[in-house]
A = this chain, B = another copy of it.
């Protein structure tokens, strides 16, 4: 095969790949001024948010109490600016209108949502403080709060979830899921932004944890690696496709512990204080305080 032929192949393949038939649903055509949300910018937003929520632990600034407010100020303003652009991109992605005036409306909405999110930061910091405490207290290997904040993947996954959940509550499309998927990739912990999770929540090790979109988790719950809170089956619509939006994931009450690789499926309830052993498949309600485990392995 001669060099000329390679050039021919490239040229003809480009032509095929540029035909509308070929890309159909796999292509996103941007209207002017309406880029897609960007994974890279969202990653920067998360770093900014973490460095505001846990001052001195993330980002490269050397904080002290006299200069703290300068840093928080600059970072919060930057967060507002970047987040507004991403929310705008999310709003534009969903909308179908073609009139350019709509962009300005979306821009105003994006700013308002972004400001509402900023306003929630102090509350987010309070609840994340309980998550850090829960991780520290329940792990005999943890040496300090700082170690938990710096090293524990659970704190990264839960921070992203709590950020994404606020954006989800504010009605932002697409972006919350992108934010939790960033944590999923970084930690192996997959929490859907729609899940509702109480304070003092912790996950040990965490790889393989899945928490579905309609899960409800109480206070002081601890999960181990590989735990799934999933759906058992989906009611189908007339076309045989799953109906979207129906509650289909478990309710976990306060003070429950679920050990490694347990799979909890369907809209069942694990009662307050229950303990679920590892490697089991649970598809029915579990009573308050109950302890269930796998039957013995055969030797």
Contacts and interface: CB of A to CB of B under 8 A. Distances in A.
Q: Could you say how many copies of this chain the assembly holds?
A: 6
A238 interface: no
Nearest to A262: B279
A141 B104 contact: no
A250 interface: no
Given A3-B111, A213-B141, A297-B281, A13 B69 contact: no
Contacts of A171: none
Contacts of A184: 153, 207
Interface string A23-64: 111111110100111110000000000001111110011111
A95 interface: no
A231 interface: yes
**Interface on chain A toward B: helix, strand, loop, or mixed SS?**
mixed
Given A185-B186, A224-B230, A129 B55 contact: no
A278 B26 CA distance: 32
A74 B63 CA distance: 10
Given A111-B6, A210-B205, A261-B263, A129 B299 contact: no
Interface of A: 1, 3, 5-7, 9-11, 13-18, 20, 22-30, 32, 35-39, 52-57, 60-74, 76-77, 80-81, 93-94, 100, 104, 108, 111-112, 114-116, 118-119, 121-122, 125-126, 128-129, 132-133, 137-147, 149-153, 173-174, 177-178, 181, 184-188, 190, 192, 194, 205, 207-208, 210, 212-213, 224-226, 228, 230-231, 234, 241-246, 248, 259-263, 265, 277-282, 286, 290-295, 297-299
7 contacts: A10-B115, A30-B63, A70-B70, A70-B72, A140-B248, A226-B226, A281-B297
